[in-house]
Amino acid sequence: WECAPVAAFVKPSYKAEAKKIPVGHLTAGKAWSRLVVVQHIGEQHGVIVNTIKVRQGGKWIPYAQGVRLAEGRTELGVPVPAGTPEIVISLHHGRGANVAVSLERPLQ
């Protein structure tokens, strides 16, 4: 698999938030088959990923998740087509969690 890191952050509170992540530099001529989140739980619970939105052709395509992430690596089957300028990850809970997001695709 080819992997491209796109964001890393610490979840500051239990409140809901949306992380807008630019990916256009990685999707120019390339499609990605999944989104991977690696989490190190900071306090008692991990983050909950509610929705991932992928911007395609000027429209947002939502991929409902509704999953509390476990410690470590979670693969989410969210396709990111070539030419996608940005994605948005809506999440909540998980105060203090260290979160890293990357795109993956099979080696060509």
For residue range 57-82, list pLDDT tens digits in order: 889 999 999 999 999 999 999 999 99
* % of the chain beyond a pLDDT of 70: 100
> Are 94 and 16 within 8 A, CB to CB?
no
pTM: 0.92
pLDDT for residue 73 = 97
Structure tokens at 54: 């992928």
Question: Degrees (nearest 5) of the Cα angle 78, 82, 87?
Answer: 50
